[in-house]
Structure 1
Amino acid sequence: MNTDDTRGSRTKAIQRAFINTLRSHSIPSDWVECDVLHGRTGSGRSVIHVHFVVQRGGPMLMPHVDRLEGTFMRQLLVERPDHKLWLLGVAWVFDDAAGAPMEPGWAVSGGDRRAAAHVS
């Protein structure tokens, strides 16, 4: 299998697992976006990092990210049992426009107004 096929099949598996996770928790599809970031290790191995970008409903979702992430990982295991070989991690990004309260010390200077909330 060539690299493009592998990359595409992994991305599709992540997208299916993400959609199934949102559905199983009755989360509207416009609340969270799934960004798939492709990269390579120093040895040239193809890897992926996933960002869940919360665009709406942040205060309601924040207490449940562990459960949502667990569902996503179980869904991904069904789609791609080999995911532990290439998935480096999952990060949750809460856009301050999503309504998540920001402590004064958390304020971000400059143009980036997003705050990473959870990484595993």
Structure 2
Amino acid sequence: MATVFSRIIAGEIPSYKVAENEDYYAFLDINPLTKGHTLVVPKKEVDYIFDLDNSTLAGMMVFAKQVAAKIKREIDCARVAVVVLGLEIPHAHIHLIPIKSEKDVDFHREKLKLSPEEFEIIAAKLSE
């Protein structure tokens, strides 16, 4: 059975797309820690990020770097944190989180509640 991320990539589940190419897909996390919190996934369905072949992993990091540059340009933040947890969904993924302090990367704190309109505005800014 396809993962939630594979179903998002296939368009079966809606997402707020930020960027896409033939190998990778980036979209807003629907339970964000900060505005602009983005997930980057390979289109190839592999559970653990370090099980990706070297070429796919390297390409994913370069793609994430491009997305992070857009986030840094469009979202008020000091840096864009890169977090790999990988336990929530069995599909390799990277969290790109705009941060002003290390506290912004605390996954135990309450997530932001954004309206669909807010998500659409952020996605539009990041996809330009």
Does the TM-score normalized on the shorter chain lie above 0.5?
no
Select the structure that is richer in strand. 1
Q: TM-score, normalised by structure 2?
A: 0.33
Q: TM-score, normalised by structure 1?
A: 0.35
In terms of Rg, which structure is larger? 1
Select the structure that is richer in helix. 1
